[in-house]
Each structure stands twice: as C-alpha cells, then as structure tokens.
Structure 1
Amino acid sequence: MIWEAAAADLAARVTHRSSRWRGPVARTPRHVFVPTWWEATDGRWELREPVNEEQWFPAAYADRSLVTQVGDLHADRAKLDDHPAGRPTSSATLPSLVVSMFQHARIDDGDELLDVGTGSGYGTALAAQRLGDEAVTSIDVDPYLVDAARNRLAIAGLHPTVETVDATGPLPVKAGKFDRIVSTVAVRTVPTSWLAALCTGGRLVTTIAGTSLILTAEKRADGAAVGRVEWDRAGFMPARHGADYPAGASGLLAAAHEIDGEDVTTSPYPVVDVANAWDLDSMLGITAPGIEHAYHDDGRRRTAVMAHADGSWARAVGVGSVRPAVHQGGPRRLWDTLDEIRAYWLQHGELPARGARALITPEGETRLARGEWRAVL
C-alpha cells in the first residue's frame, strides 16, 4: 500500500477539487504523525500500535480524529497493557475539520500563520505545505508533543517553527507579527496575547471552550477585534496549562447517579443527552461553563446527570412520556438553568449564540450579541 495514494484519496474526500488545500492534504503523510493512538473499547482506552500498513493506513487516512494522549500518557510511550484513565489531552484532528478551520481563516499566499495547538503536528504540516516553512509558527504547552511533532515534520521534509508555549499567556513573538491565528484548542475568551501578536486587519479563528462555537474576528486599529460566531460547528479540547486537566467534577458526576437531591421536582421537558445536543450544550456552556455530563438510555429509562466542580449537580430520570423526575443539589440548580434555555428556545424558535456578533476587547473580554440577547465571557 502506497501512502501517496491513500493521501490523495483523503484529499479528494475532504476538499473540493479547486481548493488550495487539496494539494497539501495529498502531499502530507498523515501516518507519520500517528504511529500509535488510543481507542475507547468497552469503556476503557486500548492502545493501537499497527505492525503493518494494512493495520495503519486505513485509520491514518480516514477522516477521523485519532486520540494520541490520555491524561499525561502519550500513545508513543505506552505499553499494550496500559489503560490510562482520564480525559483525552491530545489528538490528530480529523483532516476535514483542520481544513475547515484554515478555510475560516481565509488564508492567502504570503500570510504568516500562528498555529495554536500543535498536537500531532498534522495540521502544522498542512499549513507548512500551503504557506512554506518560514511562514508558519506552531505552539503547544506540552514539551513532548512539540518534540515529537518537530521530528515528524522533519521526516515529512518540513521545518516550520515549533515551540513549547502556554498559548493563554505571553507569546515570545513581536507585536503584530501574524496575519492569521488559527487555534485547534478551545479557549473561554481570546487571550490578550493573541490580539497583540495579530497585525491590524489580521484574522483569528478559534472555538469557545465548553461549546461547539467557532469564533472568527478581525483586528481593528484600536486593538480590539470584531467578528461573529460562525454557523458551522467544531469541537476541540480546551487549552491546558500543564500535563493534564484539573480533576474537575468526575467524582461528583459518578455520585450524582445515586444520591437524593435537596430539591426534587419534575421537568416539563423530556430527558436529553445534553453533550450530544450541540446547540443546547453550547448555550449551556456560555451560560454556565464547566458542567460535566453523563447519559444512559436502556431502552426504557433515560437518565441524564450533570455536575460542576463547585459542588452543584442534577439528575433527571424519564420513563416513556411521563414528565421526568429531577433531583438537584449544591449551590446552583443546574437542571433549572438547562430548562430556562429550553424555554427560550421554544419561545424564540432558536438559540441565539450561533450567528451572534462578537467583540473581543484588548483587555481580554469577549462580548456576544444577537438581537436582544447578550453574553460576556
């Protein structure tokens, strides 16, 4: 099996034939960037370490994300009997989404690009193929990811600048250096350092953490940036500041399946799998960030559980068409917040976040507005 044929086939599937990204996808050996990866099987992570091209290429050249690190354990450094616990912390993003993020950036020949979230290095490779090594700088908080990506980029004949940097803090670049910033890690609000690094008229693309909302904006002469929330959807891991994410609410989420609530009510709306209801989840992520979710449907009973690190939790259980029972505890009533969003949806016919106008202030505040709706991140 020849990788060039697999890459050309992938390019034909994820780009239009006239797209300037078709060539970079076709010329990039994605398998080099994912020699090993993790897959979730029966609730636990299993290492995939292909021994030949027949095992390797169908996954490497599929339009799918491959998880490369769980917690602080990268697949490169794992053994077959390792089963890490925790959340994925790095992946090779599905190629169509990488291309889509670059397309949202409206990248032109001659642009200088800051690629935030090196990860496997595959997206960096596409950018370097498109713009040239000297025009691409890529950063990631994880030293191992940076070293591995730099080495694999070199194997592919590419040598962009790749550095270990916490993207949410100061950036070691001169002010106004970049024409475009594209982030494949999510942030709650755009760091002030990104605005400083972006030239006037430059364009940034990122996603809002805890949502599937893509934010695009162009920098004004006064240092602010204005743009919008796009109608497309994308999901990326949130930016982290170290080897792993904080513990979060996983313990409370597990306990909330069984404990009795301080408040027990019924909801007028059916039980919903919030994490997979993208628009609903995004509005909740804007309104009450940081909630973790669990959902189970055994064919008769549907159970949804929510928990937050502040100690708030909720559990809704529905059977058939009967109004679900809702148990809630802690300082906030999370299910009530969810039901308020669903009531807004019914009243207005849609949720307002997607398509909203955006203003990013030089001080690091992101303001969203659509109609009479307002939100400040």
Structure 2
Amino acid sequence: MHWEPLAEALAHSATHAASRWRPLVAVLPRHRLIPRWWDRTPYGWQLRDGQADPSRWAMTAYRDRSLITRVGAVHADLAQPEARPQGKPTSSATLPSLIVKMFQHGRIADGDQLLDVGTGSGYGTALAALRLGEDHVTSVDVDPYLVDAARCRLDGLGLRPQLEVVDATGPLPGVYDRIVATVGVRPVPVSWLEGLKTGGRLVTTISGTSLIVTAEKLNDGTALGQVEWDRAGFMHARHGDDYADDLPAGLRDTALYGEGEAVTTGDYPVVDVQEAWDLASMLDIEAPGTVTGYIEDGDVRTTWLAHPDGSWARATSYSGQLPLVHQSGPQGLWDVLDRIRSYWLQHGELPLRGARVRITPDGQTVLRRGGWRATL
C-alpha cells in the first residue's frame, strides 16, 4: 500500500498547520495498527479484512473516523468472516483528531511521563511515543489481547513504550506527569490522583456524557480544573471481558409499549436525546445510567427513557403536536428531562460546559457553575 500520501492527507484534516502533532500523524502508518475492523450495517456487524480488500483498507484507515475493533467479546482480529457478533462495541481505534485533541488538553511538555489510559489499537500510544520518546510513555488497557497485539504492532514500527494489562480504575503501574484517558470514567478513580505527580494534569471524559474534564493536582492531593468547552464521547472503562446489561430484562419493551402510572401532555416537543449532546449529558448527570431511544415514523416521533431502577418514560407526538407522555417509576424521567429543558430556556444554556471541577483524594468529583452543583 502506498500509504504515505494518505497519512499526510489525514494529518492535514485532523490537525491544524502549526500543531506539533501534524508531522507525527503524517508519518504514522495507521493501517498497520488496524488490520481488521467491524462495520455496522443494516444486517448487523460485518467484518472487514484489510488485506483482503487493500483499497477499502486504505480508504478507511486514513479517514478521520473511529473504527470498531471489538464487539461484545469478539475481536475483529480473531473473528471468522461469517461472524455476526451481538452486543455493544467494546474497543475501537479512536479517530485521530480526537486523540490529538485529548493530548492537547493534556498540555504535554518535553520530558513528561505520560500514562495513556485505553491502549486500544495502539495508535494514540504510537503518536505519544513519537512525540515524547518511548521511555516516557506507558499505556494500559484491561484487555490482554489488545495489549499484546498493540505491543507486537508497535514493535514492528520500531516503537517500544511500556504497555501493561491493567484495570485503570484500580492501582496504576507508576507515577506520572500527565494522565490522558480515551475511556470514560465516573467518578475519577482514586488511583489517578495517587498516580499523578503534584502539579501534574489529567484529562478524561465522564462516562455517559460528552464532558471532557481537565484538572491539575495540588499539594493537598486534590485536583482542580474545569469541564472544557469541547465535546468527546468514549466507551466506558471496562472491568472485565464485556459490559453488563444496562437495563433489567423487559424494561425496554415496557418503556416502548407500557401504559404507565402517569399519562400527561408534555411541555416541549419530542427530541432525540442522544443527538442533543448537552441535553444527554445533563440528563446523565441528573439521572445517571438513563438509557434513551428515538423512533421516527412519518409524522410520528417517539422518545423513550429507561433507568436500571425501573423508571421509564415514553413521549409520542403526532404531526408536530405536543407529546403524550407515559411514565412510571420513582424518578419521573420525563419530568427530569423537562426540568433540564426549562433550565436551558431560563438561563440560555446548561451549566455543564465551563463548570469548575474539584476532585478529592477520596474519589469525589464535584462540578460547580454559578448556583448549580453536582457531585459524581
């Protein structure tokens, strides 16, 4: 594959002209770190093999997009061509522009010791090793196969950073100037403050949200920072081979078809919550773990919400009218959503972006902006 012009084009699309990361993206053969991947199709997950289709491989690997490399417990590297895995994506090769963005938020300087949380394909680890030198980069992942595969492929590129199989929400393998995570956590693990040098900086996202949190460690062991104005979404940090079911059996069907304890008319139009990133983030701060869905059928639009505690809500509108709302359970999920939307209209924006962040040594993460406060 004549990949060099493709990598250079990727560098131009994923970074700005003055970025120190641009020349590194331009010389890194991304395709060698992603030989196989999963595509989502109308018929389910479809395996793609780069060597079997070099043209698709080149076109896909050097686009600024994320590629799913593991679904459920099934690695694309190890799957049979006819495999149709079920479940959620559990690992991916993150789009290069987002990896660069997270590193930029880290304010990485020459000589820093970096912990890269979430090895995945090894692409971000490779960029960091090119930037800092391999002796200054440690990367961890909970998945032994991913770590072994990344180590082998990075070695083939002449890069030998330290790679470890670690559940990053537990003890870390060292102490670092910078911790940059491409997995979501909630709250920030206690071990991250323990593994961060005084004056060091961490960058992560909050699970279930698109919030990027940056914070610097103080002498008293706390870390202070903010929610950045940027947005990013990563898979939740895994503790084992796969994610547990996020809802009790049958609750999705109940949310879609149940009558509900309360039937009312909603104050606001039906909205696809997951496509409204700030709204979705605020909902997950106010009602952590809420799952949402959206269906559009001609003039009929339906949004449903469900929570592991058994709460659920469904709102359906016809021809743009205000929705009919069914809901049950202790939280009143549609009421929560309406309160968020009322706050938005009253204040002109939600309080998440730009919120101050305080992370305490005992693992409490507090967000605060004006009179609003949330504890994770």
- The 2-side partners of 1:80 and 1:128 are apart by 33
Aligned to 1:343: 342
User: Which deviates further from its counterpart, 177-186 or 259-268?
Assistant: 259-268
SS of the equivalent of 2:346 reads helix
Question: 1:53, CA displacement in angstroms?
Answer: 2.3
- The match for 1:233 is 231
C-alpha separation between the residues in 2 aligned to 1:207 and 1:67?
Answer: 19
Which residue of structure 2 aligns with residue 293 of structure 1?
A: 292
Amino acid at match of 1:2: H
| 1:299 to partner: Cα distance | 2.5
- Distance in 2 of aligned mates of 1:326 and 1:70: 34
User: What amino acid does structure 2 have at the position aligned with 1:20?
Assistant: R
Question: Which residue of the other structure, out of 201, 205, 210, is the alignment partner of 1:212?
Answer: 210
Are the equivalent residues in 2 in contact too, given 1:118–1:138 (CA < 8 A)? yes
Rounded to whole Å, the distance in 1 between the matches of 2:27 and 2:110 is 18
**Aligned counterpart, 1:33:** 33
Residue in 2 that maps onto 1:146? 147
Query: Residue in 2 aligned with 1:101?
Result: 102
Paired residue secondary structure (2:257): coil
**5+ residue gaps in structure 1?**
none
* Aligned counterparts of 2:328 and 2:87: Cα–Cα separation in 1: 25
- Are the equivalent residues in 1 in contact too, given 2:299–2:320 (CA < 8 A)? no
Match of 1:316, SS? Answer: strand
SS of aligned partner of 1:97:
helix
Supply the AA of the counterpart residue of 1:5.
Answer: P
CA distance in 2, matches of 1:9, 1:347: 44
Which residues in structure 2 correspond to 1:116-155 (within 5 Å)?
A: 116-155=117-156
Q: How many angstroms apart in 1 are the aligned matches of 2:326 and 2:237? A: 32
| Contact 1:253–1:292 (8 Å) recurs in 2 | no
Secondary structure of the equivalent of 1:240?
coil
The equivalences for 1:2-17 within 5 A come to: 2-17=2-17
In structure 2, C-alpha distance between the alignment counterparts of 1:255 and 1:152, rounded to whole Å:
46
Q: CA deviation at 1:43?
A: 5.4
Distance 1:306 1:82 in 2: 31
Alpha-carbon contact 1:253-1:293 (below 8 Å) kept: no
Q: Which moved more, 1:306-315 or 1:264-273?
A: 306-315
Task: Give deviations 1:231-277, integer Å, cap 9, x for gaps.
Answer: 00000001110010111117422442112112111111000100110
How high is the TM-score relative to the length of structure 2?
0.97
SS of corresponding position for 1:130: helix
Amino acid of the structure 2 residue aligned with 1:46: Q
TM-score (norm 1): 0.97
Contact 1:271 1:318 in 2 (8 A): yes
Q: Is the 8 A contact 2:176 2:200 kept in 1?
A: yes
Task: Determine if the alignment matches structure 1 residue 200 to structure 2 residue 198.
Answer: yes
Deviations, residues 207-252 of structure 1 (Å, cap 9, x unaligned): 0111000000000011000000000000000111001011111742
Post-superposition CA distance 1:316-367 (Å, at most 9, x none): 1011232101111223211111111011111111100111000001111011
Alpha-carbon displacement from aligned partner over 1:141-166 (angstroms, at most 9, x marks no partner)? 11111111111111111110110000
Partner of 2:272: 273
- 1:110 corresponds to: 111
Deviation, 1:170, is 1.2
Q: What's 1:77 paired with? A: 78
In the TM superposition, 1:13-24 aligns within 5 A as 13-24=13-24
CA RMSD of aligned residues (A): 1.1
> 1:33-91: per-residue Cα shift (whole Å, max 9, x none)?
11111111115111111314212111000000000011111111111211111110000
State how far apart, in whole Å, the 1-side matches of 2:305 and 2:166 are.
33
Task: Provide the rounded CA distance (Å) in 2 between the counterparts of 1:269 and 1:137.
Answer: 48
Q: Counterparts of 1:253-268 in structure 2 under 5 Å? A: 253-268=252-267
- Matched residues, percent identical? 63
Aligned equivalent of 2:92? 91
Contact 1:178–1:199 (8 Å) recurs in 2: yes
Q: Kindly tell me: are residues 192 and 63 of structure 1, through their superposed partners in 2, closer, same or farther at Cα, counting changes over 3 Å? A: same
Decide whether the 8 Å contact of 2:142 with 2:166 is kept in 1: yes
Partner secondary structure for residue 355 of structure 1: coil
Return the letter of the residue paired with 1:252.
L
Instruction: Work out the number of aligned pairs and report it.
Output: 374
String of CA shifts for 1:85-117, please: whole Å, max 9, x gaps: 111000000000000000000111111100001
Q: Greater CA deviation, 89-98 or 45-54? A: 45-54
Residue 259 of structure 2 aligns to a residue whose secondary structure is: coil
Q: 1:167 aligns to what? A: 168
**Where do 5+ consecutive residues of structure 2 fail to align?**
none
Give the distance between the partners of 2:89 and 2:250, measured in 1 at CA: 17
Alignment match, 2:48: 48
Query: Would you say the 8 A contact 2:263–2:326 is kept in 1?
Result: yes
Deviates more, 1:274-283 or 1:44-53: 44-53
